[in-house]
Chains A and B, each alone.
Chain A
Amino acid sequence: MKEDAAMSKFKMITDGLVKNNPTFVLLLGMCPTLATTTSAINGLSMGLATLFVLVLSNMAISAIAPVVPDKVHIPVYIVVIATFVTLLQLLMQAYTPAMYETLGLFIPLIVVNCIVLGRAEAFANKHGVIESACDGLGVGLGFTCSLTVLGLVREILGSGSVFGYNFIGGHDGMLAFVMAPGAFLCLGYLMVLFNKYLKKN
């Protein structure tokens, strides 16, 4: 019985990676996915930032959900999410100012990332604190993975480097992939690959 519970929690986390992958399956949170993945490290940081907000807001919302009146639940959730986002902003400004500047506008925009509010609505307000944390972790990790992969692909094609390590000897890559059109093209083709090889049925 206890093992079952542990198993289901583990499954919740892995589900977020493939079956419920927020980027490739649920198509949520597209804006940061496209905008911040100019390199693998930027994608990874954005993913982790979202993970942070997702886990904490999921936990807080699952804890307060029973006492929140139905009619005001959206504003209350938004305030809670915005609080964690602002907390993240302050922490990043203090300890990783360079990354804060790179990700720029997209850190405050985590508030309106549909993944966060979506998970609060679809999962956290019906489940316990621990389950919600696991769910947040799973979806957050799925998001982080997709962002890192997309960032990696764009970095390899666009600047010829991997995590900042240049392997084409200082030459330029195909710059279009670092710019806006490359973001859409890469994401489109990655989705095709994902549909073909990972999505069952």
Chain B
Amino acid sequence: MAAKSNLTNMVLVLGLTCLLCSAVLGGAYVLTKEPIDKAAAEKTNQAISQVLPHFTAVEYNEDGHYYKATDGDKLVGYAIESTVVGFGGPLSLIVGVTPDGVVYNTSVLSHSETPGLGAKCTTDAKFMDQWKGFDPSIKKLSVKKDGGDVDAITASTITSRAYTLAVENALTVFNEIHSAPAGPQDDNCHSERSEESNEGGCCHE
């Protein structure tokens, strides 16, 4: 049974327990740090390789929240992180854009949409496949209900709108990074964008 309490042994036992426990955890932290970092890196790498063609190196841009993927000297494209408000909470996407301004593919990083309804944005093949090769200069970036060319997920218009807005924000970021050094090659993209959304803002505030 438990020992009798007095100040000395209370302080001693509590202190020793805390010391021992933090030592164990400190050790465990050092041991697991490498695998944890590796798992995290693997996850982003996998997400990027899902939304962009083959690449050999990536470089992360902190301010713009995007990855620049290259294959040797050649620019493969940008994988842009974009977070918007969905139906149930934040909806984070990673959007791959090739240098010609076409969406290569999109992938959901995290979401809190309703299971079976909005959460289908990660499983509904018809919805997901339409983003492959989506060219914003030909197609209108808004759901069909709002007069655009995006097929919404059945019964989840709000999620689909949010998804569309996330892609749009990502394309805005792409235009900023891509047009700045390269000159006015994609004028039409800009003008189209400005009339459509000002309230949505950009993913990096």
Contact = CB atoms under 8 A, between A and B. Distances in A.
Interface of A: 38, 64-73, 75-76, 79-80, 82-83, 86-87, 90-91, 93-95, 97, 101, 125-126, 158-159, 172-173, 175, 178-179
10 contacts: A38-B115, A66-B2, A68-B2, A69-B3, A75-B14, A79-B18, A90-B29, A93-B39, A101-B110, A158-B115
Contact of A80 (B3, B21, B110): B21
Contact of A93 (B1, B5, B36): B36
Contacts of A125: 1-2
Nearest to A101: B110
Contacts of B45: none
B13 A76 contact: yes
Given A79-B14, A90-B32, A158-B116, 11 more contacts: A65-B2, A66-B2, A69-B5, A71-B5, A71-B10, A79-B21, A83-B21, A83-B25, A87-B25, A90-B25, A97-B39
B3 A66 contact: yes
A173 B116 contact: yes
> SS class of chain B's interface: helix, strand, loop or mixed?
helix
User: Size range of the interface on B?
Assistant: 20 to 34
A86 B117 contact: no
Nearest to B119: A178
B24 interface: yes
Q: Tell which of A65, A97, A126 has the most Cβ of chain B within 10 Å.
A: A97
B138 interface: no
B121 to A, nearest CB: 15
A126 B1 contact: yes
Given A38-B115, A158-B116, A175-B115, A72 B39 contact: no
Given A72-B14, A95-B35, A178 B24 contact: no
B24 A83 contact: yes
A82 B25 CA distance: 10
A69 B4 contact: yes
B159 to A, nearest CB: 14
A65 B36 CA distance: 34
A75 B40 CA distance: 34
B116 A175 contact: yes
Interface string B97-126: 000000000000010001111000000000
A85 to B, nearest CB: 10
Interface string B126-149: 000000000000000000000000
